[in-house]
Amino acid sequence: MTNLRPVQPQTPARGAFEIHRAEVAPDMNLAYLREGVGGYPLLLIHGYPESKRIWWRNVKPLAEAGYEVIVPDLRGYGDSDLSEKDEYDLVLYSRDLYALVHDVLGHERCGLLGGDVGGVVLCDMAARYPGFVDRTIFFNSIPPTLYDREDWYTARGLSMNALEHGPTGDYRIRQGRDPEKLLAELDTPGRRRQWVRDFYEHRLLASPYSFEEEDYDFMVEPFEDARRLAAGWAPYQLEYGRPMTEAPLLFQPVEVPTLVLYGPDDHVVPKDFPKRCEIAFTKRTGPLVIPDCGHFLQWERADVLNEVAKFYFADLRPV
């Protein structure tokens, strides 16, 4: 089959951006990119199996458009610290990022972009820190579920469980319920690399031909280390009894203006994603469907996301 995908921005070299580090909690340092200092701050939040590298095609275009682009590795991912106490959950991610942007970098307000686990963290931050988040761009994730509006879901034929396990969702069970057994099977760097590569290639998350061979290598490299791979499984374990520091704020609507995007070639996020977003975001634009795009929207259709983000946050940039 001929690859007729839309042409994407050139991917910067691996060493194109300086990596900074900052302490955001006791014994926890996050690694992050910071480009375009002095512009309106945009926090770009990755998910799993991603790191800050998934945003590589977005950093330079947004910085050149007048934004301060902040791209961290979540705790346990990429170049950030592992938790020596095995402390990983959605609220800890949220608190780490707030500490980075507000306390370390000194921003009173910002815009957020996120998908997958990053989208969930985005929703928690918007609710947890009133006045801190001006607007968000949310895509291919799990929107908040409003359990006090069960009638709304029932009338539209939607389950209250936004994560029904489909044929491509087996990894959620294995990583969540049986992490020790799975890690024992992935007992070499090569096997760990292949497990992560499958998400970009065989698990039907991405639109076909979205990643070249060098892209696979770039994305999977941070997960060669067994402890880092296991750290990324923590959110999936929450469904199977992993202790949380506190409950995330994911059962109430997001009141912050939000642009909802959707890559329909994603066969892991349920196809009812656009409908669920209608009740989850009270001040939404969209959902807007992006063609030739799956789960990794910021990479697969960087051409679209970059331009949309420039426009959506434009009036918040310093004059």
Tell me whether residue 213 is in a domain: no
Structure confidence by residue, pLDDT tens digits, 119-153: 999 999 999 999 999 999 999 999 999 999 999 99
CA distance 115 to 205: 12
**Average pLDDT of 89-116?**
98
Mean pLDDT to the nearest integer, 174-182: 96
Helix (H) or strand (E) holding 234: helix 234-237
pLDDT confidence of 293, banded at 50, 70, 90? Answer: very high
Residue 165 pLDDT exceeds 70? no
User: Does an H or E element contain 152, and which?
Assistant: helix 150-155
More confident residue, 162 or 98: 98
CATH number of the domain to which 132 belongs:
3.40.50.1820
Q: What CA–CA distance (Å, rounded) separates 86 from 83?
A: 5
Neighbour tally for 121: CB within 10 Å: 29
Place of tokens 């972009």: 113
pLDDT at 167: 57
Checking if the pLDDT of 109 tops 80, the result is: yes
The 258-262 sheet, strands edge to edge: 19-25, 28-35, 67-72, 40-45, 110-115, 133-139, 258-262, 284-289
Q: How confident is the model at residue 202 (pLDDT cuts 50, 70, 90)?
A: confident
**How would residue 72 be classed by pLDDT, with cut points 50, 70 and 90?**
very high
Domain-embedded: residue 214? no
Please determine, for residue 295, whether its predicted confidence score (pLDDT) is greater than 90.
Answer: yes
Average pLDDT of the segment spanning 223-244: 96
What's the confidence (pLDDT) of residue 168? 66
R_g of the chain, CA atoms, integer Å: 18
Helix (H) or strand (E) holding 19: strand 19-25
Q: How confident is the model at residue 193 (pLDDT cuts 50, 70, 90)?
A: very high
| Phi (first) and psi of residue 135, to 5 degrees | -150, 165
pLDDT at 166: 55
228 within some domain: no
Name the residue with higher pLDDT: 168 or 150.
Answer: 150
CB contact at 8 A, 313 and 36: no
Within a domain: residue 96?
Answer: yes
- Distance between CA 188 and CA 190 in Å, rounded? 5
Q: If 0-12 CB within 10 Å is exposed, 13-18 middle and 19+ buried, where does residue 267 land?
A: middle
* 280 located within any domain: yes
Give me the number of domains the chain comprises. 1
User: Rounded mean pLDDT of 22-26?
Assistant: 97
Buried b (16+ CB within 10 A) or exposed e, 138-155: bbbbbbbbbeeeeeebee
Angle at 257 between CA 34 and CA 115, to 5 degrees: 55
Domain that holds residue 51: 19-164+246-316
- Inter-CA distances, 250 with 76, 96, 191, Å: 22, 18, 34
Q: CB-side exposure of 305: number of CA atoms within 13 Å?
A: 35
Query: Does residue 219 lie in a domain region?
Result: no
Q: Is residue 210 part of a domain?
A: no
Is 128 inside any structural domain? yes
